[in-house]
Amino acid sequence: MNLSPKLLEVFTTALAVPADQITADLDYQGIPEWDSMSHMILIAELESSYAITIETDDLLEMTSVTNVVDRLKKYGIEA
């Protein structure tokens, strides 16, 4: 999946995995690293990197890389 360098960095920081592991179908609880704690870090990283506030409904939908990219569009962010 072609993510912007910025979004890729958000993912690698939050999930603490190498960039080549960030694939489109990677999802929450799909790897040990993507647990509830790193998910909250991911949300916090997204909010601070893009200066947005993510709504609850979107937060609960951001359960895969694809879904995150999809939901970010709502906030005017193109990955």
Partner 1 sequence: MRLYDLIQSNQNLVYIDALTDTSYSVNEFHQSITIEERQAVVFLYTDNMIGSIEVFLNFLQSRFTVTLLSPQLDIQFKLELEKAYQPYYIYDPSRTAIDGFQAYGASNRIQLFRNLSAPAYPVNPEIKLLLSTSGTTGSPKFVKLSEENLIQNARAILEFLPIEGTDVTPLNVPIIFVYGLSIFTSNCIAGGKMICTNRDILQKTFWEDFDHYGCTSIGGVPYVYEMLNRFGFFKREHLSLRYMTQTGGILNQTLVQVLAEYGTKHRQQFFVMYGQTEAAGRMAYLPPKDLFTKSTSIGIPIKNGRFEIDPDSNELIYLGANIFGGYAKSLADLTTFHRAERLHTGDVARKDEDGYYYITGRIKRIVKLFGTRMNLDEVELILKNALGGETFVCLGIEDKSLLVLHLNEELAAEAVKQVLKEKLSLHPTMIKVKFVESVPLTPNGKIDYSTAVQLID
Q: How far is the CB of 23 from partner 1 (least distance, A)?
A: 20
DSSP SS3 for 6: helix
Residue in this structure with the two tokens 């909250």, named with its chain if needed: 40
Kindly write down the DSSP assignment for every residue of 14-31, as one continuous string.
HHT--GGG--TT-BTTTS
Nearer to partner 1, 50 or 78 (CB): 50
| Least distance in angstroms from the C-beta of 9 to partner 1 | 13
Residue 70 binding partner 1, by CB under 8 A: no
Question: Nearest 5°: CA angle at 60, between 55 and 62?
Answer: 95
What string marks each residue from 16 to 55 as x (binds partner 1 by CB under 8 A) or -? x-----------xx--xx-xxxxxxx-x------------
